[in-house]
Amino acid sequence: MKRSTVSDHSGRFRVFLFMFMIIAVTGSVMVSECWSGSNHSDTQTVAGDNAAVQSDNGSGQGNDYMTDEEDLDDWEDLEESSDIWDPFETFNRYMFTFNDRLYFWGVKPVATAYSWVMPEPLRESVYNGWQNLATPVRVANCILQLKFKDAGVEIARFFINSIMGIGGLGDPAERMFDLHRSDEDLGQTFATWGVGFGPYLVLPFIGPSCPRDAIGLLGDSYLYPLNYYIGKFWQNAAIRAGKEMNLRSLRLGEYEDFKAASLDPYVAARSAYYQYRKNSVEKTSDYFKSFTLQ
């Protein structure tokens, strides 16, 4: 029975990847068709993405749901960066426009209505619950990066928040014991072991990324518990959509401010994401080097 169950979960996950590929290809075709009637100058002013810095994927990136953008000193200065390899810029701009319109036409209206119905403390509790469920992702990557102390902190946080925080809906581990959540994912782990950033990519529904981080996101999903306990693909997809909607409701207005401060939102978001990941990787790599040299 156990082998059959594992096989079923593996089959569902393959179905999930197949469906994602279909959606990605369909989205690119749709954007290509709508793009044919517009010129490149319009592209530069319209392009954007609702996850300009980094979409939260359940790996716990950042110590709070507002910290990704706060790490950037000046969005306008980031637009001047020119050392990012972007051989797929045409495709990336298509995906940027697709994500931008998806945000303004779909995600934002629903997230706004959701925020009216759900008070902010409840939405923060839902956010905390998702982060608590993602503990295995962070623990595994802490261990792979030789951050054994951080792995211990993550395990302690899980038990404290699960018990005292009512299943992780609260975060007494941070408020009462000053135990902060780690900012670790498989993309950072790959970077620690020497894998470079590679070409810049914009993925449909996900936003800014690169091959290293995209593969890392896929790998992290194998450690996410709900992928093994939700029975059907569409149930899993609905729960994931609810998770993302809750997150977007806590970040309403940030993307709009980002676009307003950018001459070319595509270039600004590309630079912002690159700098964000570069800073995260450098902190991890410095720790890894100091540990291995001891």
125/26: higher pLDDT: 125
The residue-averaged pLDDT of 154-169 equals 96
Does 126 score more than 80 pLDDT?
Answer: yes
290/271: higher pLDDT: 271
Closest CA to 30 of 109, 94, 79, 76: 94
Distance CA 170, CA 15 (A): 34
Does 290 score more than 60 pLDDT?
Answer: no
Three-class HEC string of the chain: CHHHHHHHHHHHHHHHHHHHHHHHHHHHHHHHHHHCCCCHHHHHHHCCCCCCCCCCCCCCCCCCCCHHHHCCCCHHHHCCCCCCCCCCHHHHHHHHHHHHHHHHHHHHHHHHHHHHHCCHHHHHHHHHHHHHHCHHHHHHHHHHCCCHHHHHHHHHHHHHHHHCCCCCCCCHHHHCCCCCCCCCCHHHHHHHCCCCCCCCEEECCCEEECHHHHHHHHHHHCCCCHHHHCCCHHHHHHHHHHHHHHHHHHCCCHHHHHHHCCCCHHHHHHHHHHHHHHHHHHHHHHHHHHHHCC
Residue 240, pLDDT score? 85
Quote the pTM value: 0.71
Task: Find out whether 270 and 84 touch, Cβ atoms under 8 Å.
Answer: yes
Task: Find out whether 246 and 114 touch, Cβ atoms under 8 Å.
Answer: yes
Residue 275, pLDDT score? 94
Distance CA 126, CA 248 (A): 12
Least confident of 38-47, 68-77, 177-186, 216-225: 38-47
The residue-averaged pLDDT of 154-158 equals 97
Residue 59, pLDDT score? 43
Does 210 score more than 60 pLDDT?
Answer: yes
Give the count of alpha carbons within 13 A of 122, CB side only.
Answer: 6
Does 229 score more than 60 pLDDT?
Answer: yes
Q: In whole numbers, what is the pLDDT of the chain averaged over residues?
A: 78
* Confidence tier at 27 by pLDDT (50, 70, 90): very low
Does 121 score more than 70 pLDDT?
Answer: yes
> Which residues are bridge partners to 209 per DSSP?
201
Residue 286, pLDDT score? 61
Residue 98, pLDDT score? 97
Task: Find out whether 187 and 213 touch, Cβ atoms under 8 Å.
Answer: yes
Task: Find out whether 131 and 60 touch, Cβ atoms under 8 Å.
Answer: yes
Tokens of 271: 């630079």
Distance CA 192, CA 291 (A): 12
Please give the single-letter amino acid code of residue 195.
Answer: V
Does 28 score more than 60 pLDDT?
Answer: no
Parent domain of 255? 2-63+71-292
* Confidence tier at 54 by pLDDT (50, 70, 90): very low
Tokens of 171: 């975060």
Residue 288, pLDDT score? 55
The residue-averaged pLDDT of 209-215 equals 97
Closest CA to 96 of 24, 31, 29, 41: 31
* Confidence tier at 230 by pLDDT (50, 70, 90): confident
What is the tally of structural domains in the chain? 1
Residue 78, pLDDT score? 43
72/139: higher pLDDT: 139
The residue-averaged pLDDT of 19-40 equals 39
76/110: higher pLDDT: 110
Number of C-beta neighbours around residue 47 at 10 A: 26
Phi, psi of 49 (to 5 degrees): -160, 145
* Confidence tier at 233 by pLDDT (50, 70, 90): confident
CA dihedral sign, ordered 135, 139, 145, 149: positive
